[in-house]
Amino acid sequence: MGNKIAFVTGAAGGIGEAVTRALGSQGTTVAAADRDTERLAETVEKCELAGLKVRAYPLDVTRPADVEAVVDQVERDLGPIDQLVNAAGILRMGAARELSDADFADTFAVNVTGVFNVSRAVTNRMVPRRRGALVTVASNSASTPRTGMAAYAASKAAATMYTKVLGLEVAEHGIRCNLVQPGSTATPMLTSMWHDETGRQTTLEGNLDAYRLGIPLKKLAQPSDIADAVLFLLSDRACHITLHELTVDGGATLGV
């Protein structure tokens, strides 16, 4: 992975931060993008103190003109982007019939349109170079219904299929597009779903009232577990893998 340039969205925290650190630890120069400028600056400062080559690029992925401008800036500052990780995402909980217009629209704006905006901008620059690898961090909820998660699950399903179709279209140019589908991962997004001290145990054991299985491995994923999967799919060890979904959920969706 050394001597490569990677662009990571959602880099200020959670899985995106773990991916940024993991890439940097392998010698990759990382353009870390996030709309939370304060947290992004803190993340990049910690990476730099650890000797990693990480640079901050404040960005709202829902704004296509801003995306194009930032991608141009990254390539001017650092060089041609070799790898893209779409890790920006938001969660809005609510029953399918009760979601507000704003919650539904905001979820799709970040989780789907954001993936579209960034993927388009980066792959359009990769195509003439005839190389590149892209990983979208989606969710196991993209293929398994979850009560209270209609907007999130639908958005991740859309991002999944967009990434696969994009991958099919750019394969002839030597560009690979894959997905990592995490399950419950120890991040602020997960803990925001817990209402009391029983949240963690319920996640591990499951909830029959919500038609939700537990986690057979009896543990939550760590952000680094997801980052390891992302790095594999970006690496030359995965050079003949594209259009693939790699599920990292401890068996929560039974391999389906």
Six-digit token string for 124:
């359009």
Six-digit token string for 185:
């991962």
Question: Mapping DSSP to helix (H, G, I), strand (E, B) and coil, where does residue 208 land?
Answer: helix
Q: Which residue has the tokens 């760590």?
A: 222
Question: Mapping DSSP to helix (H, G, I), strand (E, B) and coil, where does residue 126 land?
Answer: helix
Question: Mapping DSSP to helix (H, G, I), strand (E, B) and coil, where does residue 206 land?
Answer: strand
- Among residues 231, 242, 238, 118, the alpha carbon closest in space to that of 170 is found at 242
Q: Where are the alpha helices (DSSP H) in the chain?
A: 14-25, 37-49, 64-77, 101-108, 114-129, 150-170, 188-191, 199-205, 223-234
Six-digit token string for 247:
């599920």
15/255 Cα distance (integer angstroms): 22
Six-digit token string for 230:
């992302």
Q: Please confirm, yes or no, whether 57 is among the known catalytic residues.
A: no
Choose the catalytic residue: 57, 152, 162, 211. Answer: 152
Question: Mapping DSSP to helix (H, G, I), strand (E, B) and coil, where does residue 226 land?
Answer: helix
Listed in sequence order, the residues at least 6 apart from 29 whose beta carbon sits closer than 8 Å to its beta carbon are 4, 5, 6, 53, 54, 55, 78, 79
Listed in sequence order, the residues at least 6 apart from 188 whose beta carbon sits closer than 8 Å to its beta carbon are 13, 14
Active-site residue list = 152
